[in-house]
Amino acid sequence: MKTRITEMLGIETPIICGGMMRVGTAELAAAASNAGALGVMTALTQPTPEGLAAEIAKCQSLTSKPFAVNLTVGVVASEINYDDYVDVIINSGVKIVETAGRSPEPFMERFKAAGIKVVHKCVAVRHALKAERIGVDVVSIDGFECAGHPGEQDVGGLVLFPAATQALSIPVLASGGIADGRGLAAALSLGCEGINMGTRFLVTQEAPIHEGIKQKVVEMDENQTRLIFRSYRNTARVYKNTIADEVAEIEAAGGDFGQVHHLVSGANQEKAWSTGDIDAGMVTVGMCGGLIHDIPTCEELVKNIMSDAEAIICDRLAGMVAG
């Protein structure tokens, strides 16, 4: 399967394993890339630029195929020196960067000079248009179903994806609500050039989180997520656990972020990921968890998605067209 994404990024399938904080390690990124997708490490999973340099080197030792580094700007502690992380990425020889959070405009000149392709994550068409204007190569647009931060517009992928593809001339990746070959076939039919999946890759054998969390996602349905931080205009979609319920109650009572911070701290999130206790902290997961029923290897996942998508496109849909 060839699309503008596979041609531009030099990958075998139009599938991206999106960058996930605390999960986007060298091992997961390499496994996704070796499977024919594009694996994405997360820069800020490493507490220092030196740690990122070591993690990139590890990934380079695990795969000879393209992989990317995610740099999320402006949603974590302000004392981070992003320029140092950018220097590490450029000096490492990595040729694909996924940016998220604030605009990557301050770094675009340096990325371009280094021959780096930039994939920017957006939640609205107007943001995507701005990203195109500043020179990003690809937009990954998140529908309302996505894990993490879906924005405040509440537009689902079925509308958002074609709205983006008709507005932009650069390639668009569909993100949010996609977990299988049906999602890939749908995204392609809506004009996208590929898919960006987080939650689905979270539930693979190589993902560095506790098996108990993976099993909870396997068992969940599409109603087992909750939106929090709405009153702070920083909406997040997370697994509906006791932490999410408590945060929602505090928000409903008019509480400010300081009253929920201890509940959603990074330390509590790490406890959940590492111990398998789903109620230990905030667990980011998308609605597509309701479509996930197994814990495959990355290789098995990519192979199944591609074979299912091809069967849908070549057999089922083709068979509906009158001769």
Where along the chain do its domains lie? 4-209+294-320, 211-288
CATH topology of domain 4-209+294-320: TIM Barrel (3.20.20)
Distance CA 37, CA 95 (A): 15
Question: Between vectors from CA 193 to CA 192 and to CA 199, what angle results, nearest 5°?
Answer: 80
Q: CA quadruple 166, 172, 177, 179: dihedral positive or negative?
A: positive
Provide DSSP, 195-248: EEESHHHHTSTTSSS-HHHHHHHHH--TT-EEEE-GGGT--EEEE-SHHHHHHH
pLDDT value, residue 74: 79
Provide the token pair at 130. Answer: 């701005």
pLDDT value, residue 80: 87
Burial 228-252 (b: 16+ CB within 10 A, else e): bbeeeeebbbbbbbebbeebbebbe
pLDDT value, residue 79: 78
pLDDT value, residue 122: 95
Distance CA 8, CA 302 (A): 19
Q: Are 157 and 145 in contact (CB under 8 A)?
A: yes
List, for the chain, all residue ranges whose pLDDT scores fall below the cut of 70.
Answer: 75-78, 322-323
Q: Dihedrals φ, ψ of 99, to 5°? A: -110, 150
pLDDT value, residue 298: 98
pLDDT value, residue 255: 96
Distance CA 132, CA 122 (A): 11
pLDDT value, residue 7: 97
Distance CA 216, CA 212 (A): 6
Predicted TM-score (pTM) of the model is 0.95
For residue 180, the one-letter residue type is D
Q: Dihedrals φ, ψ of 231, to 5°? A: -70, -15
Provide the token pair at 189. Answer: 């039919």
